[in-house]
Amino acid sequence: MMELSYRFSFDAAHKFSHYPAGHPNAGLHGHSFQAEVSVAGEPDRTTGFVVDFSKLESVCAGVRQQLDHRVLNDVEGLSSPSLEHLCMWLWQQLVPEFPSLARVTVRRESAGQSCSYSG
């Protein structure tokens, strides 16, 4: 079994309504995010690929477009856009195209934070 990964970044804003007024995370604020998508499988005997990177990159570009320079709270399914919910949302977007999706990780490098989801 092998695992291929592709990483992409996006910049977006969000807010959390469960924080009290005056808390820094209650107001609208932004982050630079990195998402890493991993697909597992055995290499195809003909192509040698677990998955064609061009397809993975193309599908991820479409997903990235839904997130980049957006207010994440306004994206359908992300009303509470925690790292945990971002991972699950990305999974839901990608698994129809990649049934052997193994893991989705979302990072906020500047804060040293990450979350991984394995379905």
List of domains in the chain: 2-117 (3.30.479.10)
More confident residue, 68 or 111: 68
pLDDT (tens digit per residue) in 25-84: 778 889 999 999 999 999 999 999 999 999 999 999 999 999 999 999 999 999 999 999
> pLDDT tens for residues 72-109?
999 999 999 999 999 999 999 999 999 999 999 999 99
Q: How far apart are CA 67 and CA 71, in angstroms?
A: 8
What the block records as the tokens of 100 is 């052997």
Quick one: which of 6, 14, 2 has its CA closest to 86? 14
From CA 52, how far away is CA 3, in angstroms rounded?
A: 12
- Between 110 and 12, whose confidence is greater? 12
Q: Are 103 and 95 in contact (CB under 8 A)?
A: no
Where helices occur in 13-110 by DSSP H, the ranges are 53-67, 83-94
- For tokens 């991972």, the residue is 87
The rounded distance, in Å, linking the Cα atoms of 49 and 100 is: 13
On the CB side of 106, CA atoms within 13 Å amount to 20
Are 10 and 36 spatial neighbours (Cβ–Cβ below 8 Å)? no
Residue with tokens 């990450």: 114
Confidence at residue 25, expressed as pLDDT on a 0 to 100 scale: 76
- Flag whether pLDDT at 24 surpasses 80: no
- The pLDDT, as a whole number, for residue 23 is 76
pLDDT of residue 64: 98
Query: What is the pLDDT at residue 29?
Result: 87
